[in-house]
């Protein structure tokens, strides 16, 4: 089914010129391979550490949002399969007619036979153009439905609190967690630092290796960060190539050391896509919440400003918010 879906996406991309379908086709194969190997590796290591069965053998709690997500994905696959089936049917019919005419030309034909065959070919070419116009209209409708279903998936992603691509928490989950942390700070004056991490020169990765390579790098970076995170900490993908990391009851200096550990691990890691090895580094900005009237937006702005400073000073480094440095 997934192989047919990839072909369907390519067909929609060719007929409509929209980036959504071609983007899905470009990344389908690599995501299957990357996801399978990453899942097998993470399950095996988790089983070794805890002695428990891999996730595939455990009963997981049912989430209504996930069930709804499954229905949307099934609808998406059915839409694409229907579109490619219509296209394939028309192509097969036209190819069969051309084979018939080739066989006719192998026989001895009169001048009238040739005139009749020529007229038939002209008629079939005109029919093909008319049919293709119908297919383009049908594929345009399918593409519109695909875009709607992708929007539905994005809405469901917010409900689940997980980023589909990287499998870490998403921005919606981060916002909810930050509300809880700020509430604890106001009540008990417990401070915590926020680290904003950004992949350096990420646009160059997409431009040089393609968006599927960029997706692969995002997944791998998220896995490195997740694997070395403390159980009490909170990691999320904020958006694009940017991640956020919350460390409860931790000082800025300690948070900077943890960020430095992340930086070294990313720099030393090997990131591969297809036959290419992609060098990856990250920059980090650290800010600790100020008890009192500071909002989560103001905290993020200070951490983001520190990140910007790290970028200005050459990237692949950590900076602490100026309000916390002597």
* Gap between the Cα atoms of 67 and 96, Å rounded: 43
62-114 pLDDT, tens per residue?
566 666 666 766 776 776 677 677 677 767 776 777 777 667 666 656 667 66
Provide mean pLDDT across the span 266-295. Answer: 94
Provide mean pLDDT across the span 153-166. Answer: 80
Domain boundaries defined on the chain: 2-48+62-160, 171-324
Instruction: List the CATH code of the domain at 171-324.
Output: 3.30.70.270
Q: Helix/strand/coil (H, E, C) string of 69-99?
A: HHHHHHHHHHHHHHHHHHHHHHHHHHHHHHH
Q: How many Cβ atoms sit within 10 Å of the Cβ of residue 218? A: 22
Give the active site residues.
241
pLDDT for res 244? 98
DSSP-assigned beta bridge partners for residue 239:
242
């Amino acid at each position: 089914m997934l192989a047919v879906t990839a072909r369907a996406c390519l067909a929609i991309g060719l007929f409509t010129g929209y980036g959504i379908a071609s983007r899905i086709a470009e990344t389908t194969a690599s995501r299957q391979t990357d996801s399978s190997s990453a899942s097998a590796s993470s399950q095996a290591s988790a089983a070794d550490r805890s002695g428990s069965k891999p996730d595939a053998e455990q009963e997981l709690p049912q989430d209504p949002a996930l069930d709804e997500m499954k229905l949307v994905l099934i609808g998406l696959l059915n839409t694409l399969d229907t579109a490619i089936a219509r296209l394939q049917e028309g192509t097969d019919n036209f190819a069969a007619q051309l084979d018939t005419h080739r066989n006719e030309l192998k026989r001895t034909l009169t001048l009238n036979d040739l005139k009749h065959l020529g007229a038939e070919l002209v008629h079939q070419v005109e029919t093909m153009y008319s049919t293709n116009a119908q297919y383009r209209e049908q594929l345009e409708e399918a593409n519109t439905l695909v875009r709607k279903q992708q929007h539905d998936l994005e809405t469901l992603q917010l409900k689940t609190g997980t980023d589909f691509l990287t499998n870490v928490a998403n921005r919606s989950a981060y916002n909810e967690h930050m509300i809880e942390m700020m509430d604890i700070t106001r009540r008990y004056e417990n401070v915590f630092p926020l680290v904003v991490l950004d992949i350096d020169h990420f646009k160059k990765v997409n431009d040089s290796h393609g968006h599927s390579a960029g997706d692969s790098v995002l997944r791998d970076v998220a896995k490195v960060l997740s694997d070395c995170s403390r159980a009490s900490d909170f990691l999320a993908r904020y958006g694009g190539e940017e991640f956020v990391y919350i460390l409860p009851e931790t000082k800025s200096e300690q948070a900077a050391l943890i960020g430095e550990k992340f930086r070294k691990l990313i720099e030393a890691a090997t990131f591969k896509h297809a036959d290419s090895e992609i060098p990856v580094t990250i920059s980090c900005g650290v800010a600790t919440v100020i008890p009192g009237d500071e909002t989560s937006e103001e905290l993020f702005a200070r951490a983001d400003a520190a990140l910007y400073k790290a970028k200005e000073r050459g990237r692949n480094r950590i900076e602490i918010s100026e309000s916390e440095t002597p």
